[in-house]
Structure 1
Amino acid sequence: MAEGNTTHRSTSGSIARVEQALRNLGLDRPIKHFGASTRTSADAAAAIGCDVAQIAKSLIFRAQTSNQPVLVIASGSNRVDENKIETALHDRIAKADAAFVRDQTGFAIGGVAPVGHTGPVKIFIDRDLQQYDVIWAAAGSPNAVFGVSPSELERITGGQVIDIKP
């Protein structure tokens, strides 16, 4: 682990909501907090001391027909082929703005966790994440993450594992 990170329990806000969701889902995972932002995959990997590909970056889209939020949990080293998401969703998608993300998930861009959303979210998981023992996901804040195995991520999110790369 990089120097300067801390592991502790939160008492309020988005991070606490993620911790509670994890416990409710049968995972007691500590949240790692960093002094610097882990908003980008490269920032997170540097802070954690892992490969960029082990970062489970959260990208939120808006389904055009249903207006439902669509969360794509992608390997930090991968780009997302939006056509593949549309095919799996059976709907067109559009980029979600910050207000939509906050309203639909309860999280700010840069800290969208895979769990603890304030409403229903359709989730797709990048198949490439399956090759790692541990991946790191946002924990409700741009400077907080938690570790999880790919199979645990699939179980706790109910996400569909697909190939997302162009």
Structure 2
Amino acid sequence: MQDETDTRLPDTARRVADLLAAMGHDRQVVMLPATGKTSAEAAAGLGCDIAQIAKSIVFRRLSDDAAVMIVASGANRVDEGKVAALVGALGKADAKFVKERIGYAIGGVCPIGHVQKTVMLVDEDLLKLDNVWAAAGHPHAVFNLTPRQLLDMTGAPVADVALRA
């Protein structure tokens, strides 16, 4: 059963809310008053640390044109060289590629509910946190979960993907 708040979600966020409910996730999708397209915007809207934003970065693997998603701490920049060493040479994924392969528009890319099989890696730095916030299919929609729940929901392996100074 859905509550009244859920019925006002945009379609893509509703899809995520329904998927989370089917997984038995106990936290709801939250709509931010302002956009959460960037980690800084989402953290400001939630009143949390930027590191707690589990941002989804999508690349295109050159060998087979597969979508490659990195779920990284909002405090980190992704090191494309480290990722390529793990999954193969990468190219840029434009908005059309992301929408077609993942099923969400850039700015609201959720780590679950993809329309096609996605190669995924989770930033090891997220595991240092008690909880994180991930996009829920819309630039204003997010949901809270633990890093363990993120790993269980995605089935993605943990990797060192951060660019280190």
Q: Normalising to structure 2: TM-score of the pair?
A: 0.92
Q: 1:18 aligns with which of 13, 16, 19?
A: 16
| 1:109 aligned onto 2:92 | no
Moved more, 95-104 or 18-27: 18-27
Q: Retained in 1: the 8 A contact 2:10–2:138? A: no
Q: Which runs of 5+ in 1 are unaligned?
A: 1-6
- Corresponding residue of 2:35: 37
Secondary structure of the structure 1 residue equivalent to 2:56 = strand
| 1:61 aligned onto 2:79 | no
When residues 26 and 68 of structure 1 are mapped into structure 2, their CA distance, relative to the original with a 3 A threshold, is: same
Q: Distance in 1 between matches of 2:83 and 2:54?
A: 16
Q: Normalising to structure 1: TM-score of the pair?
A: 0.91
Q: Which amino acid aligns with 1:156?
A: M
| 1:155 aligned onto 2:161 | no
- Corresponding residue of 2:93: 96
CA deviation after TM superposition for structure 1 residue 45, in Å: 0.4
Q: Which runs of 5+ in 2 are unaligned?
A: none
Q: Retained in 1: the 8 A contact 2:33–2:45? A: no
> Would you say how many aligned residue pairs link Structure 1 and Structure 2?
159
Q: Retained in 2: the 8 A contact 1:8–1:32? A: no
Give me the identity figure in percent: 43
CA deviation after TM superposition for structure 1 residue 128, in Å: 0.3
1:97-150 deviation digits (Å, cap 9, x = unpaired)? 000000011100000001111111111100000011110000000111000000
Secondary structure of the structure 2 residue equivalent to 1:23 = helix
- Corresponding residue of 2:5: 8
- Corresponding residue of 1:124: 121
| 1:79 aligned onto 2:46 | no
Secondary structure of the structure 2 residue equivalent to 1:66 = coil
CA deviation after TM superposition for structure 1 residue 12, in Å: 5.7
Q: Distance in 2 between matches of 1:19 and 1:44?
A: 18
Secondary structure of the structure 2 residue equivalent to 1:16 = helix
